[in-house]
Amino acid sequence: MDDRALDRDVEGLLTMPIEWDASARQLHLRNDQVSYLIRVLEDGSIGQLHFGAPLADGRSYRHLGRAGFQGFTNRLDDPIALEYPTAGGGDFRMPALVVEQADGSSSLRLEYASHRIFPGKASIDGLPSTYAESAGEATSVEIELVDRPSGVQVALSYTIFRDAPIVARHVRIRNGGSARLRVTTAMSASLDLPDDAWTLVQLSGAWARERHVTDRRLAPGRQSTASLRGASGHEHDPSLILRRPTTTETSGEAYGLSLVYSGNFLAEAEVGLYGTTRARLGINPEGFAWTLEPGADFNTPEAVLAWSNDGLDGLSAAYHGLYRERLARGSWRDRPRPVLINNWEGTYFAFDEQKLVDIATVARDLGIELFVLDDGWFGARDDDTSSLGDWVVDRRKLPNGIDGLGRRIEDLGMRFGLWIEPEMVSEKSQLFAAHPDWAIGVAGRPRTESRQQLVLDLSRPEIVDHLFTVISEVLASAPISYVKWDMNRNITEPASLALPAERQGEFFHRYILGLYDLYGRLTGAFPEILFESCAGGGGRFDPGMLAYAPQAWTSDDTDAIERLRIQWGASLLYPTSSMGAHVSAVPNHQTGRRTPIATRAAVAFFGVFGYELDATSLSGAERAEVADQVAFYKDHRELVQRGRFVRLRSPFEGDGNETAWMSVSDDRRQAVVGFYQTLTRPNPGVNRLRLRELDPSARYRITLWPARADTVERDNALVRGGDELTEVGLFLDVDRHEVANHGDYWAQLFILRAE
Ligand code: DGJ
């Protein structure tokens, strides 16, 4: 740690950002961006007084909380804001905790017992979470609550980060009684807001069109997104954003709740009868029931809550920084990620060693740094009907093994990467023949097949052990620098042979715990390997995965135009360093669309860049373009992977014909702006693109990529002030005689360097 970091640490400890006011019985979590205020109410329950703009420290805010929770009356059930509402009392809104007790009842009344404030942040047993690297970076408080009749003990944990408008929460539930309990709802966070003037923003879609931004104004009653697939899924991101209807990218209030979890989740908002809003986020209670024997604990995943008064941009910036630097971990967290080429769309299953080396050789000549061998290298996998589970090289295709191929790739001066799908088994496989009972299913019922494969029961430790052994052998057998960890189907007939009937409700969560165990052990055993997570593209792109794999395959859809929406949506919460983005061949394999190769690159540049094609089939002209693209990305990857990502023009607004975004370096000396126009329009009007996050006093030299000899180049390739670029903007007007030169699917990058 350098001296400055040490000073900041000491300072952090001296001005503890969590203050306990004993007379008001109030906890104030505070930094200069946000306040979170909690109070022990008169009846011992924990009230939520405020989460939002920073309020002065050293003051009592007890008047903000209602006198106390009175139980059922006609008017007191709604307006009281509670930290962790339970079922069965007079609060008839969505509970955060439901525990079935020995007599079958589920009522709880949690009362404050004690609390403990400590520097730094604790980890959560068996679950991924954000972290602090030094004690001064974050401060935490754990509040102990108890329900005396049942013995249920609840520890509410909160961490406030020194430099972000973020509070991370999780909950531990302990059976402190003498009878067995069943937890049937255990949310990670519940948030009560005093009005209902909110628009719910969700990131929703499907395979190949993941994370589209969808808005809806809250209405009375409940509105939710969820997964019951055993994975976070392509359909919805495990998060919930609430913004004011007037909030824009750059102004107005917004809350984010994002779950560090990869399995079944529920994100829900409820407008109650007195016009308040309750949001809750956590493991989906549907189908969930966790038995707690006396003395046993259950930990919820972590929910990361953020508040912004600077629009969605403020929220995104907070999540980007935290997820890139204090959720992602390992030796690749801060390193520039290599430009890769993946053979999947280039060859699918039809390849041999020479074909792969030929692709790699061309790629190497174009400057690409990493060659990734995708699906089809093991067992006898010539299509997707067989061999998952048999992680032994197919010598028909690779006579010299993975090792032989890996060495040839390294001899070219490239790194070598490998695809695996460890959680799966094909019915046509040696593994399934030996262990048919390892596949998830219900005895006496047919298993639903999907992509002709079944899922291994990772809730069973012996299966996780087996996978750790066989995958470790593969990874140790060859010079492997990168792993793409795929997962191509969701779980059906959920049940585990290893769990007794009354514990089947634990299955989905135990699967995820097994998955995290496997990921944790493999990333721990191979710390130099860069892991990329994938689930048929974006089917498990979530904060939980980011804790193990710092980057993810954002979508199987590589069409540049589709990617504008996918990457824009993902950027609401996820940093560009987490988004795999590749140039593929045309016609695009998902949409049939033909976009210029420069446009494909200009979109993929704003992510972890690579190619997904057969490089040997590129024409001479395309090769020259690819070489130029790779060089361009290498020159700017530090900026793109670690800089501030700013959304400028949304593909979800208006007719969606234009998109623009930019990356700005931390010192604001450099920026790259991307502008994209889907369809060309004749005789276009005036078009200015105002930039953000520049240094108003700096003067920037602007160059264009690709270069073009027309009005756009003439009007913009100048030296201009940061103030002017912010207030007036770039000139996107296209002379009507030159419109045809741009054509459909036009992309233009503007590179800014301060002089
Ligand atoms: C789905 C992935 O998203 C693709 O990139 C590819 O790896 C295939 N699976 C291979 O089966």
Residue 69 corresponds to which tokens in the numbers above? 């929770």
Strands 152-161 and 290-292: unpaired
Q: Name the band, by pLDDT with cuts 50, 70 and 90, for residue 72.
A: very low
CA of 455 to the centre of ligand 1 (A): 16
Give the whole-angstrom CA distance, residue 142 versus residue 154: 10
* Ligand 1 binding pocket includes 536 (Cβ within 6 Å): yes
Please give the CATH topology (third level) of the domain spanning 96-326.
Answer: Beta-galactosidase; Chain A, domain 5 (2.70.98)
CA distance 521 to 516: 8
Ligand 1 nearest-atom number relative to CA 556? 3
Residue 488 Cβ contacting ligand 1 at under 6 Å: yes
Nearest atom of ligand 1 to the alpha carbon of 484: 7
State the average pLDDT over residues 495-518: 97
For the annotated catalytic residues, the residue numbers are 486, 556
Cα-to-centroid distance, 486 and ligand 1 (Å): 7
Rounded distance, CA 159 to CA 136, Å? 12
User: Could you tell me if the CB of 541 is within 6 A of ligand 1?
Assistant: no
Query: Which residue's CA is the nearest one to ligand 1's atom 10?
Result: 375
Span between the terminal Cα atoms of the chain, in Å? 33
pLDDT in tens, 378-415: 999 999 999 999 999 999 999 999 999 999 999 999 99
The 10s digit of each residue's pLDDT in 187-218 is 999 999 999 999 999 999 999 999 999 999 99
The reply to whether ligand 1 has any atom less than 6 angstroms from the CB of 553 is yes
Ligand 1 neighbourhood includes 506 CB (under 6 angstroms): no
- Per DSSP, the three-state class of 88 is coil
708 pLDDT above the threshold of 90? no
- The CATH architecture of the domain made up of 340-422+461-489+515-642 is Alpha-Beta Barrel (3.20)
- The pLDDT value recorded for residue 590 is 97
| DSSP character string of 543-586 | HHHHTT-SEEE--S---HHHHHHHHHHHTTTS-GGGEEEEEE-S
**Mutate which of 553, 558, 579 for ligand 1 pocket (most atoms within 8 A of beta carbon):** 553
Average pLDDT rounded to a whole number, residues 425-453: 96
Mean pLDDT of 347-351: 98
Average pLDDT estimate for 312-321: 98
Local structure of 140: helix, strand or coil? strand
The residue type at 314? G
Distance of CA 593 to the CA centre of its chain: 28
Judge whether 97 and 185 are in contact, CB under 8 Å: yes
Which atom number of ligand 1 is nearest to the Cα of residue 553? 3
Rounded mean pLDDT of the chain? Answer: 95
Rg (CA), the chain: 27
Q: What is the sign of the dihedral through the CA atoms of 8, 9, 15 and 19? A: positive
Residue 419 CB–ligand 1 contact under 6 Å: yes
- Tell the residue nearest (CA) to atom 9 of ligand 1: 536
Ligand 1 binding pocket includes 537 (Cβ within 6 Å): yes
**Cα 480 to ligand 1 centre (Å):** 19
Q: What is the pTM of this model?
A: 0.96
Is 522's C-beta closer than 6 angstroms to any atom of ligand 1? Answer: no
Three-state secondary structure call for residue 110: coil
Q: What is the average pLDDT across 723-733?
A: 96
Structure tokens at 521: 């052990």
Of the pLDDT bands very low, low, confident and very high (cuts 50, 70, 90), residue 77 is: low
Arithmetic mean of pLDDT, 575-596: 98
pLDDT at 734: 87
Measured in angstroms, how far is the CA atom of residue 534 from the centroid of ligand 1?
8
Please state which architecture CATH assigns to domain 648-754: Sandwich (2.60)
Paired strand residues for 306: 166, 256
Q: What percent of the chain has pLDDT over 70?
A: 96
- What is the Å distance from ligand 1's center to 347 Cα? 12
> Quick one: which atom of ligand 1 is closest to the CA of 374?
7
Same fold, 340-422+461-489+515-642 and 648-754: no
Q: Which residues contact 417 (CB under 8 A, 6 or more apart)?
A: 340, 370, 371, 372, 373, 480, 481, 482, 483, 484, 530
pLDDT tens across 222-281, in order? Answer: 999 999 999 999 999 999 999 999 999 999 999 999 999 999 999 999 999 888 999 999
Of the chain, the percentage scoring pLDDT greater than 90 comes to: 91
